[in-house]
Amino acid sequence: MSKDAYIHNLLPGSPGGPLLFVFHGTGADESQLLSLGRDLAPQATIISPRGDVSEHGAARFFRRTAEGVYDMGDLARATDKMAGFVKAHVEAAKPSTVLGLGYSNGANILASVVFAAPSLFDTAVLMHPLIPFEPEVRGSLAGRRILVTAGKRDPICPPNLTARLDAYLRADGADVTVEWHEGGHEVRPNEIEAARRFLAALPAEGV
């Protein structure tokens, strides 16, 4: 898969340092999470792809038929394409560690890639993911660090599904941390700080 499979932004970091992929939410683009990524991982090279699906003009990473109802065939297509895109950049950069951060639809595609290629990301930050299906992990998540952030009153990502995702990840061996806030689908400061602590805890040589 080509490094240019997606339109994307790239912010250079320390050569051989961490590689951070950031994945935007529905209706945003490849610029949405760049500044957050730089703030959270100052030394990392940051790659931010733009979703290749348009939903009434809003960019997404895969199609859906209704809120919370995914086109599973298109999700499989997008997952394979994104995994290839990430692998191409990892092979070229040879980073110390591979990090992922996604919000909403971006968290969903990141989670799907983690299920499909568990060894690809050392650490993943999933902000308000919605996984309304039982994931099939192709391998083991042992040794992978995953932070899930969520709102207790999120109308898009219900707390019971966040708890179920947490259970799935733990059952497959992942080292999971969950950070809640009292609100809805918005990102709040405690989530940002949780992500900062989570990424800062990485050993310099990677996981």
Dump pLDDT digits (tens) for 93-130: 999 999 999 999 999 999 999 999 999 999 999 999 99
- Both tokens of 143, joined, read 């040794």
- The tens digit of pLDDT for each residue in 67-81 reads 889 999 999 999 999
* 31 among known catalytic residues: no
CA distances from 172 to 68, 118, 177, 201 (A): 24, 10, 14, 22
- For the entire predicted model, the pTM comes to 0.95
Q: For strands 8-11 and 145-151, give the pairing.
A: unpaired
- Given this model, what pLDDT does residue 203 score? 53
- Token pair for 168: 């799935």
Is 104 an annotated catalytic residue?
Answer: yes
Tell me the torsion sign for CA atoms 188, 189, 190, 191: positive
Which residues, 6 or more positions from 155, have their beta carbon under 8 angstroms from its beta carbon? Answer: 184, 185
Residues in the chain, how many?
Answer: 207
Other C-beta atoms within 10 Å of 117: how many? 19
- Active site residue: 48, 89, 96, 104, which one? 104
89 flagged as catalytic: no
